[in-house]
Amino acid sequence: MTSEAITRPQEIEYHFGGAAAAPAAAQGCVFQVHYGSADFVDVSTSPARMGIAMQSDSCAVDLVENWYADSSAETTTGAILDGQMRYIELGDEILFFGELGRLADVEGSSFQSYKAILDTLHQKGFHTLVRSWNFIPQINHCPEGAIEIYQDFCKGRALAFDARGIDEFQLPAATGIGSYTTAITGYLIASKRADYLHVENPLQSPAYKYPPKFGPKSPSFARGTLHLESGHGRAQGTRFFLSGTASIRGAETMWPGDVRRQLTTLMENIRYLVSDENPHLAQQGLSMGLGDFDHFKVYFRHAKDFDIIRKLLLEDWQIAAEKLHFMNVDICRSDLLVELEGCINRAGPIAV
């Protein structure tokens, strides 16, 4: 291997709307997320780019995430909140990216950002929330006389959903994870289409029903969001966005302090969620497996756990090495040691 090959960033692909079903030549990359050592937003380039600081002192991160769309889709760009949040409109889909909150006033600023995004979605007719990523620095920190940063963020976010009248069944798949960013940042996808289905996991309490001991307002997300494309004259597509998934059964953390057992429990959560043992999937005539995932992002708290987590994913769970992307960050509950998210992208339906 040349040194160039070694240092080249890893890449992953996402597709907006029906883009996965379109021929590759008819697609263009419209947005890039650079997971690495720096925060930035650059809308002067094509594609527009966002950088997210996820690299720890002991674990290098160099991952580029490419978002593709049908190049026939009309593209409109804009900004809200004085440029703090940008958006790219692509036909039936819209993408927001930028600053979601500030550490000086976590609840208030997260409420304002989410409220502005949700108001804009409402005005523009994007009524389906699809997927969001939320990167939260000092996520487990508890300022004097206050609640943890994560719980404060959840409160602001939940109040914005409440204010917009968005009920729990409309909440999208999400990731809410620690980061080395200077502010709370992230990106969010929404659609004008109604052919998305938010999925829960019977093994886990819906996050929006977690009891108050985990925070004054529960986290606002679904365990996964499924896109069942029933195109006219176009190949059908099945896309599944898996939310950040951890070692939680019911609402409780399982196996605090034991990273191996946490990984086993969370992988069983994922396996069950996407299989036809989950009535929500069986109802759709769908059954998927761990092998159907295009990629996984693996968030782990302690650098020392990297080797064992990687080994178990490769050997016990038979996940291909090139599908795994690791980031050494804190996780929303201080007893959680590892969390995975991922995406399934299939040109055709995956029938039972």
Q: Does 128 bind ligand 3EB (CB under 6 A)?
A: no
Nearest distance, CB of residue 267 and ligand 3EB, angstroms: 14
| Residue 121, CA distances (Å) to 89, 130, 252, 322 in order | 11, 12, 34, 36
- Which part of the chain contacts ligand 3EB (CB under 6 A), choosing from 55-63, 75-83, 239-247, 283-291? 239-247
Chosen residue from 22, 30, 121, 246 binding ligand 3EB by CB under 6 A: 246
Q: Does 259 bind ligand 3EB (CB under 6 A)?
A: no
> Distance between CA 190 and CA 17 in Å, rounded?
10
| Residue 165, CA distances (Å) to 80, 126, 211 in order | 21, 14, 21
Helices (H), the chain: 3-7, 106-124, 149-163, 259-274, 279-282, 306-315
Chosen residue from 32, 120, 134, 181 binding ligand 3EB by CB under 6 A: 134
- Which part of the chain contacts ligand 3EB (CB under 6 A), choosing from 42-50, 180-188, 244-252, 294-302? 244-252
Residue at 302: amino acid letter: H
Q: Does 244 bind ligand 3EB (CB under 6 A)?
A: yes
Over the window 21 to 60, marking each residue x when it contacts ligand 3EB by CB under 6 A and - when it does not, the resulting string is ----------------------------------------
278 CB contacts (<8 Å, ≥6 apart)?
A: 199, 201, 202, 272
- Which part of the chain contacts ligand 3EB (CB under 6 A), choosing from 72-80, 117-125, 172-180, 319-327? 172-180
Q: Does 329 bind ligand 3EB (CB under 6 A)?
A: no
| Residue 352, CA distances (Å) to 95, 140, 206, 280, 290 in order | 32, 41, 25, 13, 15
Residue at 3: amino acid letter: S
Chosen residue from 18, 137, 206, 219 binding ligand 3EB by CB under 6 A: 219
CB 272 within 8 A of CB 347: no
Residues facing residue 242 across a β-bridge: 224, 342
- Which part of the chain contacts ligand 3EB (CB under 6 A), choosing from 53-61, 96-104, 169-177, 272-280? 169-177
Counting residues that bind ligand 3EB (by CB under 6 A) gives: 12
Nearer to ligand 3EB, 113 or 243 (CB): 243
Residue at 23: amino acid letter: P
Catalytic residues: 339
